Chains A and B, each alone.
Chain A
């Protein structure tokens, strides 16, 4: 009876299209908003994710997330290096400063200072130049989006000069650093240069990046560093989640996105549920006739579920395709929208949600079909 079920479904063109539209709209809205939300949250931890050589981030105990800086003295670096299990430990500076271009353009930037000797912490994704170029005097690496901010309309290139707090800095590399939560350019420079650019003070080291010796448990090492030095030490994964958690707790972002996602679910469930319910209701007499002719309830159950799964499958495919297309197009329109994409986890999660919607919709209708009295067909 599967063929008959599909013919019944396709026979009512208006409702068939309405059901697919409802599922597609719901899929598009939910997956789009969750993907943007996930993208935004990942942006908050972009600099942690870009410095993946570091197993552990060490910081002042009061620091809650990566953008909250409470500087430490350089002395702490030596103490961290002395903890058993540490393979290497390097300083890391993070701060905000203002860059001036020669044509008078002024731009706030995120300044990241990496260890002078090892250059640990620079993103390995370089579009132009090399990380080693940072060892040159007054050198800096800027991200591609930042370059376009500061020199709109120009192709990214090396050799541009900016002024940072009355100090000269030359662009020696263009990176593809993860987009930050704010849209400020991300600038890498040597740790010593960074201190000069912001003005030297007694405490300037934002973080210590630690690599564990092979075979050493990073969680245990982090606990040991914290216990020995009285500092906070988190694995890169813990620090990523701590940063994301801060934005989740302290901003209205999750609530706003949550409302939109909930609307997507409710509208989807309501539109699809209502349309499917009416579709089944209008076919109730036919289902009654089938039951009178000896079609079992389980066969009718399979017919209705098949119809539901077909509209769910087609609607989901259209909706998820539209969502993927949206991110593909927007990433080409503006470099500021880079990093927003449709993660497979979101696609899978949305598929499960659509399944829930269609199950709710079909079960509400199925009840009617299951209890319909075949004698209904004898009533004129």
Chain B
């Protein structure tokens, strides 16, 4: 089912998710209704265990909801087969993880090139394309360095390049500043906002880090598996409340 409103990148309708635990099941998402507009940076905030990571995993097509409907980039994720989801993620979703998850044996440029390599491009050519993005985000001097030769902030920038290299329509970030100091965290968010946002692209950031709330265009606050509030920035009040 195609999404009618092109300004909406993600639409969740009545999404629930349950996990088996022992003899019973635990429902971690209780009927989520949530829209993520395109061309905006949306932050998903809330206490640990409230279901933020589960929700973005469903939006990105990694987990399947127990019930409800999810449309991402105009396509119904919930109706896709597993193979279709894998192909969908490869083409349309960029990931930025808390722990960077860079391959230790590959250089920054090669790491950033992985989504292109996964799509079938030879490593050397893909690394060339990735280098251009790395240079754009101030990593030109570190293209050939291995992850263990980079600082945390530099590793996260390499991860941002990896999330952008294949021009996805959705970027999902899980606690991108959790392992960084305040200054590096600010820099990473500045880069993310400058480089990642585009008219046809949405960015979702899951975070606990109140220091970066100011970068959000929209903040969705979660609690106990439900969206409690969605507010437009600036949100000093929410920041204080958190």
Contacts and interface: CB of A to CB of B under 8 A. Distances in A.
Contacts of A344: none
Given A285-B99, A289-B95, A375-B57, A4 B123 contact: yes
A378 B174 CA distance: 6
A83 interface: no
Interface residues of B, number: 35
Interface in A287-333: 288-296, 299
Given A288-B101, A373-B62, A378-B53, 12 more contacts: A4-B103, A4-B114, A11-B103, A285-B101, A286-B101, A294-B86, A294-B87, A294-B89, A294-B93, A294-B115, A295-B86, A296-B83
B97 A378 contact: yes
A8 B103 contact: yes
Nearest to B58: A375
Interface of A: 1, 3-4, 7-8, 10-12, 285-286, 288-296, 299, 373-375, 377-380
Given A290-B118, A294-B89, A294-B91, A380 B98 contact: yes
A377 B162 CA distance: 15
A12 B60 CA distance: 31
Contacts of B86: 291, 294-296
A63 B195 CA distance: 90
A15 B115 CA distance: 27
A98 to B, nearest CB: 69
Given A294-B86, A295-B90, A289 B105 contact: no
A374 B83 contact: no
A256 B122 CA distance: 52
A292 B89 CA distance: 7
B182 interface: no
A290 B114 contact: yes
Nearest to A379: B53
B90 A294 contact: yes
A10 B105 contact: yes
A93 to B, nearest CB: 70
Nearest to A12: B105
A293 B57 contact: no
A355 to B, nearest CB: 26
A374 B175 contact: no
A15 to B, nearest CB: 12
A289 B123 contact: no
Given A293-B115, A295-B90, A7 B110 contact: yes
A373 B103 CA distance: 18
B178 interface: yes
Contacts of B114: 4, 290, 293
Q: State the 5 A-B residue pairs at the shortest beta-carbon distance, nearest first.
A: A11-B105, A294-B90, A289-B101, A294-B89, A3-B123
A380 B175 contact: yes
A378 B56 contact: yes
A375 B178 contact: no
Nearest to B89: A294
A296 B90 CA distance: 9
B112 to A, nearest CB: 12
B62 A380 contact: no
A306 B99 CA distance: 27
A294 B175 CA distance: 21
A7 B90 contact: no
Nearest to B92: A294
Contacts of B88: 294
Given A294-B86, A294-B87, A295-B118, A289 B97 contact: yes
Contacts of B101: 285-286, 288-289, 377
A201 to B, nearest CB: 79
A7 B119 CA distance: 18
B63 interface: yes
